Amino acid sequence: MGIWVMQKIKKSESLSQLRMRDDQDLRNTYFYRLSTSPGLDLFRYVLLVGSPQDRYVPYHSTRIELCKAAIKDSSTLGIIYIEMVTNLLQRLIKSARTTVVRYDVHYNLSNSANTLIGRAAHIAVLDSEIFLEKFICVSGAKYFR
């Protein structure tokens, strides 16, 4: 809902792409085409960080996973989503040098409008230098040696 409002106000091409509304044929949208492109498999480590408190980006999406609802969804969008996740994961699974690591993040957030709409968790990683420092020192540094 938040992205829809921003799209209406800003008329941003990138927001249109995020919503997969940049082409009538979903397989021609930027994000679908991106899912078929090589790239992630060129990295030694792919770190996926997600929070169930984030209501801007679905938790399973941040982790490049299928959720039960997507598996049961026989609509065009549901089928496209499954194809995109499969496109991304197949390349990662086939890569002998790439390791995928998923991190779940849970925030201690104050009660605010941003927390209520899920924005606080969405931007918390970028908004908190302390979080980034702790994450890198405790968990992330080993991937950069």
In whole angstroms, give the CA distance from residue 43 to residue 49: 16
Q: Distance from CA of residue 8 to its chain's centroid?
A: 22
Please report whether residue 60 resides in a domain. Answer: yes
What percent of the chain is predicted at pLDDT more than 90? Answer: 49
Query: Which H helix or E strand runs over 49?
Result: strand 45-50
Rounded mean pLDDT of 56-60? 84
Within-domain flag for 2: no
Residue 14 lies in a domain: no
Look up the domain containing 99 and give its range. Answer: 24-144
Mean pLDDT value across the chain: 85
**Side-chain-facing half-sphere of 122: CA atoms under 13 Å:** 14
15 found inside a domain: no
Are 4 and 19 spatial neighbours (Cβ–Cβ below 8 Å)? yes
From CA 58, how far away is CA 29, in angstroms rounded?
19
Helices marked H in the chain: 2-10, 13-18, 30-36, 59-62, 68-72, 76-94, 113-116, 119-127, 129-135
Our CA dihedral for 58, 65, 70, 16, rounded to 10 degrees, sits at 50
Q: Within a domain: residue 7?
A: no
* pTM for the structure as a whole: 0.80
Q: Indicate the pLDDT class of residue 30, thresholds 50, 70 and 90.
A: very high
3 in any annotated domain: no
Q: Is residue 124 part of a domain?
A: yes
Residue 18's pLDDT band (cuts 50, 70, 90) = confident
Say how many domains are in the chain: 1
Does 108 map to a domain? Answer: yes
